[in-house]
Amino acid sequence: MTPAPGTRHPRWPGICKGWALLLGWLLLLAATPHPQEHGAPADTTHAGSPRAAKTRGHLAKDSTAANTAKAPADSALVPLPRSRARAEAEPDTIPPKRPVNRYRIVQPYVPASATERQVAISRGRSKANLGSRDGVQAGSIFSAVNGGLVIGLVQVDSIGHDTSWVRLIKLENVLDPRQPYPLDRSCELQPKLVTLETVHFEGETPLISQALEDRLAHMASFISAFPEAPVLIEGHSDSGGKKGQAMALSLQRAERIKTYLHEYYHLPKARMYTRGYGDTRPLAANASETGRRQNRRVEILLVDKVPAPPDTAAAKPAGKKKKP
């Protein structure tokens, strides 16, 4: 019988109930575990079962292999002696916090046949992670420090853009007597007498090109890594001009570079010390214009302590003594 318009079909509730039962049965069937095909037993591994432990062992082995594959090529280092390694791992007292120094010995190199300390020191070299990008020049001297103890002084022999080769020029302390070479990768580098950039002058005008400006920016970043090291700015002049004005002119040039570093690179003025040496320290002969151009300069250095001002009286000619 056809239902009247606007009324519900008399079988509609039964149809909905049937569909609901079918859907519930399908969900129950999907959630019930079934044996694997071809008669293989179902995997009922629990967290504490031997099979789970074996699985974890394989996963750990795979993870270790992946970490080993990612290790750098230079990670094969000579291990520390057991006694020293334990002393460093379990110190008696907690050392005070010090600012992190990113400049250090990257890798020391010694001859394979070097078993005596004297031979290792004289022929050994170390690679450091500083270079010309930091403004460091060859001949600069650093203190090699390990755990707050100064091991000795190293000098930059040759320098590249990112790294440099240094050699030990003075041994002060030995941390591990069993090692023939006293420097290792734990040694930080602290400025002793570091020669940085040089700015030349034409009269009273500094000759700062775009390339030099970029180098000065990197140099300022290097200086900021050692907040306790004084910055020494030394002014020089050629032998031209009137006698007695060279000292004042060289000091004026040094003061100008000090102001420049403060205004452009935000180096604190309290850290920078200016000195004027006039024409007493020429780099080249003043007989030619090329030599005079090299002598009109300002040198920037990073030192461990501020030197005394130059004795200006020694540069003046001594007058005749009056007779009594």
DSSP code per residue over 75-107: G--PPPPHHHHHHHHS-SSPPPP------BEEE
pLDDT tens-digit series, residues 139-168: 999 999 998 999 999 999 999 999 999 999
Distance CA(228)–CA(278), nearest Å, equals 28
Is residue 3 pLDDT above 80, yes or no?
no
- Dihedral of alpha carbons 65, 67, 70, 75, sign: negative
Instruction: Pick 99-186's CATH classification: 2.40.10, 3.40.190, 1.10.10, 3.40.1800.
Output: 2.40.10
Distance CA(143)–CA(194), nearest Å, equals 10
Lowest mean pLDDT among 24-38, 69-83, 157-171: 69-83
Residue type, 3: P
Q: In the prediction, which pLDDT does 119 show?
A: 81
Residue 1 three-state SS: coil
pLDDT tens-digit series, residues 185-212: 889 999 999 999 999 998 889 999 999 9
- CATH 2.40.10: which residues of the chain? 99-186
Q: In the prediction, which pLDDT does 181 show?
A: 86
pTM of the model: 0.66
- CATH 3.30.1330.60: which residues of the chain? 195-308
Tokens in use for 82?
Answer: 């057991």
**Helix axes of 246-265 and 210-224: crossing angle, nearest 10 degrees:** 80
Instruction: Pick 195-308's CATH classification: 3.30.1330.60, 3.20.20.60, 3.40.50.970, 3.30.365.10.
Output: 3.30.1330.60
Q: Cα torsion for 121, 127, 131, 135, to the nearest 10°?
A: -30
Q: Which among 217, 196, 184 has a CA at the least distance from the CA of 140?
A: 196
Tokens in use for 111?
Answer: 């001859």
Lowest mean pLDDT among 60-69, 114-123, 173-182: 60-69
